[in-house]
């Protein structure tokens, strides 16, 4: 049906367990993968069961013991080659992302570019896994700390970024000397299968041990529960809902494991009296409509000074009316479908709750049907007048609903901004230096990401990505996020001929 599926090695029936070779005897049920573009089945996956997971983790453990002793720059060279191989399939992978989860083609290719970029980033990182040297209080002693590979890392991803989030974790973990097991969303498993086929060719060409990058596609109760309870996974990186993140954090923490939690966002943009609206409106529209509102960094609240509210609403309604909605694989489309009919239902229920609480729909929020919108997953993006204290506003509805909230002064604006459970991404548009510096100060945004004169979405891979509060507190991708994938060790070397004890203690044996 789609030529690019064959180029990526996607078949009518695919297998959901991989540890350097595909397990064709997997024991799980068959998963039909449907595209939200028109509801058609685009492939099937024979899923992994509990025994299949056990085979994968056993192979990954063995691979880690070998991989950790490969010099980090050599691991980085393999990451470089994986990046080069991904470049060859950028268009095909981008099209598969669009086909499988519904984001427009340019966004699909942009997500693949993030994979390429993080592979490039990891090459440099492989020569910068730095420790520190400290001065010892003891004579002729040297003290320092260093970072060692951690082990087999579990990565559980969401449907909305089916390849980029895996790469953020896998490329960083791999150059740190770890093995990785991915459990992708059941809504987007084909991209994971394609990526592992691409990466495995590079790993095998370099003689890397089987099991460095592994995959299990399976139901949560069959595979996910085993992963989060498995002490052989010292770190589990999870991207998904806050509710699921709390459950995962409790279970992994109960066995004293580590987590990287990238959970919900309720991201706002403050528009001050000094905002440049010509800059702000495009940022708002992309941030709220991009990926059909299904990003954790989607702009969900506009906190606008009361003097600008009517003007901003007029601008946004005009802009929203110009957004072409339809097949994300077709050129010119700016908003594709939601991922499935359940997501559409959740959006409609959210709008009804908004109205019940006293909110007002200013534009959109409708299901789109007919021949142009097959599959039942298309909607018009919604602009709504609301109050921050509404229960529905306090939650993250994973859909294109944008709440307009007015304020009188900057104290109120920052209070409104921070008064939600989530704390991922934030932005302010202003040409006033004092306003921008305050927003970025200790008393400003309480989010993990805070921007001035750019929107809430579109984080660069060079910066650590993640948030606070109900967003989970984890960090992935750039900066020093690599430290989460390693274990820290403090070392002391005595190069004297005596054994002085710490704190000057004398222990005389006569």
Buried b (16+ CB within 10 A) or exposed e, 420-451: bebbbbbbbbbeeeebbebbeeeebbbbbbbb
Which tokens in the block code for residue 490? 């403090």
296 is catalytic: yes
> Which has the closest alpha carbon to 303: 429, 211, 474?
429
Q: For the beta carbon of residue 62, count every other beta carbon within 10 angstroms.
A: 16
Whose tokens are 């459990």? That residue is 183
Which tokens in the block code for residue 466? 């993640």
Q: For the beta carbon of residue 389, count every other beta carbon within 10 angstroms.
A: 12
Alpha carbons 151 and 160: distance in angstroms, whole number: 27
Which tokens in the block code for residue 401? 């609903």
Kindly name the residue from 296, 377, 382, 447 that is annotated as catalytic: 296
Residue 355, SS3 per DSSP: helix
Alpha carbons 387 and 398: distance in angstroms, whole number: 19
φ/ψ (deg, to 5) at 299: -75, 120
Residue 486, SS3 per DSSP: strand
Instruction: Report how far apart, in Å, the C-alpha atoms of 116 and of each of 148, 153, 157, 199, 216 are.
Output: 25, 21, 18, 12, 23
For the chain, state the CA radius of gyration: 25
Alpha carbons 36 and 338: distance in angstroms, whole number: 7
Residue 141, SS3 per DSSP: strand
Name the DSSP class of 21. Answer: S
Residue spans of beta strands (DSSP E) within 1-57:
13-15, 17-18, 30-34, 41-46
Three-state secondary structure string covering 290-305: HHHHCCCCCEEEEEEE
Kindly name the residue from 92, 107, 111, 262 that is annotated as catalytic: 262
How far is residue 165 CA from its own chain's centroid? Answer: 4
Alpha carbons 477 and 138: distance in angstroms, whole number: 38
The pairing of beta strand 235-239 with beta strand 30-34? unpaired
CA atoms within a 13 Å half-sphere pointing along the CA-CB vector of 140? 7
> Which has the closest alpha carbon to 37: 368, 287, 365?
368
Buried b (16+ CB within 10 A) or exposed e, 272-309: bebbeeeebbebbbbbbbbbbbbbbbbbbbbbbbeebb
Q: For the beta carbon of residue 65, count every other beta carbon within 10 angstroms.
A: 12
Give the active site residues.
262, 296
């Amino acid at each position: 049906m789609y030529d690019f599926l064959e180029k990526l090695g996607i078949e009518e029936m695919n297998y959901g367990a991989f540890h350097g070779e595909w397990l064709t005897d997997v024991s799980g049920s068959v998963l039909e993968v449907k595209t939200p573009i028109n509801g058609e089945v685009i492939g099937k996956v024979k899923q992994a069961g509990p025994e299949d997971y056990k085979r994968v983790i056993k192979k990954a453990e063995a691979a880690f013991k070998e991989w950790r002793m490969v010099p980090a720059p050599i691991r980085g060279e393999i990451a470089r080659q994986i990046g080069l191989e991904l470049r060859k399939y950028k268009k095909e992978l981008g099209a598969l992302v669009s086909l499988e989860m519904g984001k427009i083609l340019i966004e699909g290719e942009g997500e693949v570019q993030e994979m390429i970029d993080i592979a490039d980033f990891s090459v440099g990182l492989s020569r910068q896994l730095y420790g520190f040297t400290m001065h010892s209080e003891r004579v002729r002693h040297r003290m320092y700390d260093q970072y060692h590979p951690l082990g087999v890392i579990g990565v559980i991803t969401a449907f909305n970024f089916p390849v980029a989030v895996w790469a953020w974790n896998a490329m960083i973990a791999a150059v740190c000397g770890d093995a990785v097991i991915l459990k992708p969303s059941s809504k987007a498993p084909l991209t994971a299968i394609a990526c592992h086929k691409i990466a495995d060719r590079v790993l095998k060409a370099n003689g890397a041990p089987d099991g460095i990058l592994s995959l299990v596609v399976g139901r949560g109760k069959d595979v996910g529960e085993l992963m989060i309870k498995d002490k052989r996974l010292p770190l589990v990186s999870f991207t998904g809902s806050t509710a699921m993140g709390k459950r995962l954090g409790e279970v992994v923490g109960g066995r004293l494991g580590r987590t990287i939690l990238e959970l919900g966002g309720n991201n706002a943009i403050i528009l001050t009296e000094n905002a440049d609206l010509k800059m702000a409106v495009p940022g708002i529209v992309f941030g709220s409509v991009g990926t059909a509102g299904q990003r954790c960094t989607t702009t969900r609240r506009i906190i606008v000074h009361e003097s600008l509210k009517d003007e901003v609403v007029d601008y946004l309604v005009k802009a929203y009316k110009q957004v072409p909605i339809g097949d994300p694989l077709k050129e010119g489309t700016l908003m594709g479908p939601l991922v499935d009919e359940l997501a559409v239902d959740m959006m409609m229920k959210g709008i009804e709750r908004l109205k019940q609480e006293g909110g007002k729909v200013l534009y959109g929020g409708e299901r789109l049907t007919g021949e142009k919108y097959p599959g039942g997953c298309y909607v018009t993006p919604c602009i709504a007048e609301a109050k921050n204290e509404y229960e529905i506003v306090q939650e993250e509805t994973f859909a294109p609903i944008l709440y307009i909230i007015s304020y009188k002064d900057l104290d109120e604006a920052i209070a409104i901004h921070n008064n939600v459970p989530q704390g991922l991404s934030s932005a302010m548009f202003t040409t006033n230096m004092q306003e921008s510096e305050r927003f970025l100060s200790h008393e400003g945004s309480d989010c993990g990401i805070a921007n001035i004169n750019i929107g809430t979405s579109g984080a660069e891979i060079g910066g650590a990505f993640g948030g606070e509060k109900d967003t989970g507190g984890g960090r992935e991708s750039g900066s020093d996020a690599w430290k989460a994938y390693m274990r820290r060790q403090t070392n002391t070397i005595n190069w004297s001929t005596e054994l002085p004890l710490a704190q000057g203690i004398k222990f005389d044996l006569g």
